[in-house]
Structure 1
Amino acid sequence: MSVQAVMSTHPFRVADALAALGDRFAECSVAINVRGDRIGYRQWGERGPVVVLLHGISSSAASWLPCAQVLSQSMRVLAWDAPGYGHSTPLEQATPRAADYAVRLQAWLAALHVTPDAIVGHSLGALMASAYVAAAPTAMQPKCLLLLNPAQGYGQPGQEDKSRAVQAQRLATLDQLGIDGMAESRHAHLLRPNASDEERAWVRWNMKRLNDGGYRQAVAMLSGDDISAYLRKRPASTPAQIACGDVDGITPPQGCEALAKTFGLPFALVPSAGHASYIDAPDAVAGWIEHAVLSQSQNA
């Protein structure tokens, strides 16, 4: 199955995006516990179903803007900066697991007094979203879990050598290039080959906002955790779907489809989209999310 391709009527421009960040998708912050730990987030839309967007390892809440703009026409969109990203308080653990991020996610939603209709996890955010669903009480479960270009982690038994290699390579790149250097050298890999200069500049701008410590924690989680362990604990009452950009070279479609088949989940390809499919094809991804949420509302 393929997500319906939708061509945007307006070419993406970074200047327009930055203006919208300040005007419509502005940064907020909320304390989530008595210690004063905080989560930074952005929101757009005043009414309708609540859709929670979780970014990946090299990104931020702001990166969702093109997709959030579409979703906000009919939904209330909440996008967080994960712990250690933006102005969100880092986790206490040096080598956290997705479950640790999920604890903060639940505390953030509780602080905002919202129950999500959908949680959308992109890349490493898919691990966090799956961990949330595995442990959240019934009253805090989303109506659907949507995994977009999911990172599956390298913590499965038998993957020890691969896990160590991934962690060493990621941290060596960070140590050698720094955040700015990583953004310059790696940003294009997240997008389709024919992405525009403006789209590439948008990914680069988001990558340059990474925090060294938060990125190191996220690398530890990617290297040591396993999405399947959480999906096996997903309540049967919480439906899930998986989608992937059809030219994703980071979490290739074959691996994403195999994950879907393992758990009997619907799988869809996003046409003409790389790993950051919600930037390559924001209208199509928004349509996929809207269809999933609407389907659950009709079945309720």
Structure 2
Amino acid sequence: MSTTVTDSTLPELPAAEIARLDALFPARRVAVGEGVWVSVRECGNAAADTLPLVCLHGIGSGSASWLESAQLLAPRTRLIAWDAPGYGESTPLPQAQPTGADYAQRVHALLDALQITRCVLVGHSLGALMAAPAARSDERIAALVLISPAQGYGAEGREAERARVHAERMGSLAELGIAGMAARRSGRLVSEHASPVARAWVRWNMARLHEGGYRQAIELLCGGRLLADVAALPPGLPLMVACGELDVVTPPAACVQVAQQRGVPLVPIAHAGHASYVEQPAAVAALLTEVLKRASV
């Protein structure tokens, strides 16, 4: 039985922020198969000359985490943020231990359903383990952006780490429950520069995880092989790898390994921890704008 853990020092999300989310970045369900749905939030200029952005969140988050970046980017492009399978109102994957390829199939199905013929795909943290496999085999993806990417623990030689992480993640879920994890773990996702509202958003998103979807995401984290996926990307596909300078979850030293796999520089995000697009949305929006300019040429 899980135990609820609370921390009164963490700020609550103001009701006005939730109202703003619903007004500016509302969620809707998209059918991607018989009885299969993907929940998305969308805003922006669909008629813009730039390509749309399709954004995949991390293991402890959801589509709402892209709100601030989406508002900054809305005048120049269309931004679609999904709730991963098993998150929000998205249908879980059928596999108990899904792989990156399984999540990639759901990405492809969403692009089909939205009739997106070309886009920039963005993966944050665990979202990188979904985005990179999706980009390996889909010509509709014109560029790939990985922000604070999680490498996963599926590579040969990481068996001990994989077992440890699996036990720790599943153990925390059993001990604390979703609400307890949000209270205890969400503070690690931002730096000391984060505003109270940014901290509240990170906690709010984490508190809305579903246990089943989170368990599947743990399996992806433990079995993922991001370096192999990046190495297998199409040769001409543009890739940007970025990381918060103060990220303690996927620190710059780990993210630079991902960038080096492709021979691209690691792009630092100043004054940002792991959830950089929540903490420093203007900086992340500027990076994505630059990618859009290059990819839309």
Instruction: Give the TM-score of the pair, scaled to structure 2.
Output: 0.92
Q: Distance in 2 between matches of 1:252 and 1:185?
A: 20
Unaligned runs of 5+ in 1: 1-12
- Secondary structure in 1 aligned to 2:144? strand
Deviations 1:50-82 (A, max 9, x none): 001100000000111011110111110000000
Q: Distance in 2 between matches of 1:63 and 1:116?
A: 23
Instruction: Identify the range of structure 1 (57-66 vs 256-265) with the bigger mean alpha-carbon deviation.
Output: 256-265
- Judge conservation of contact 1:44–1:69 (CA < 8 Å) in 2: yes
Please name the residue that 2:134 is paired with.
Answer: 132
Q: Give me the identity figure in percent.
A: 44
Please name the residue that 2:122 is paired with.
Answer: 120
Which letter does structure 2 place at the counterpart of 1:190? L
Which residues in structure 2 correspond to 1:254-269 (within 5 Å)? 254-269=253-268
- The alpha-carbon deviation at position 31 of structure 1 amounts to 1.1
- The alpha-carbon deviation at position 261 of structure 1 amounts to 1.4
Q: Distance in 2 between matches of 1:50 and 1:123?
A: 20
- Judge conservation of contact 1:245–1:271 (CA < 8 Å) in 2: yes
Please name the residue that 2:67 is paired with.
Answer: 65
Instruction: Identify the range of structure 1 (111-120 vs 219-228) with the bigger mean alpha-carbon deviation.
Output: 111-120
- Secondary structure in 2 aligned to 1:131? helix
Q: Distance in 2 between matches of 1:220 and 1:87?
A: 20
Unaligned runs of 5+ in 2: 1-12
- Judge conservation of contact 1:248–1:274 (CA < 8 Å) in 2: yes
- Secondary structure in 2 aligned to 1:188? helix
- The alpha-carbon deviation at position 147 of structure 1 amounts to 0.3
- Judge conservation of contact 1:50–1:115 (CA < 8 Å) in 2: no
Q: Distance in 2 between matches of 1:113 and 1:36?
A: 19
- Judge conservation of contact 2:193–2:272 (CA < 8 Å) in 1: no
- Judge conservation of contact 1:245–1:277 (CA < 8 Å) in 2: yes
- Secondary structure in 1 aligned to 2:242? strand
Deviations 1:22-75 (A, max 9, x none): 112101101111x32100000001322200110000000011101111011111
Residues 1:147 and 2:146 are matched in the alignment: yes
Instruction: Give the TM-score of the pair, scaled to structure 1.
Output: 0.91
Which residues in structure 2 correspond to 1:82-121 (within 5 Å)? 82-121=84-123
Which letter does structure 1 place at the counterpart of 2:93? L
- The alpha-carbon deviation at position 14 of structure 1 amounts to 4.3
Q: Distance in 1 between matches of 2:230 and 2:45?
A: 31
- Judge conservation of contact 2:25–2:41 (CA < 8 Å) in 1: yes
- The alpha-carbon deviation at position 283 of structure 1 amounts to 0.4
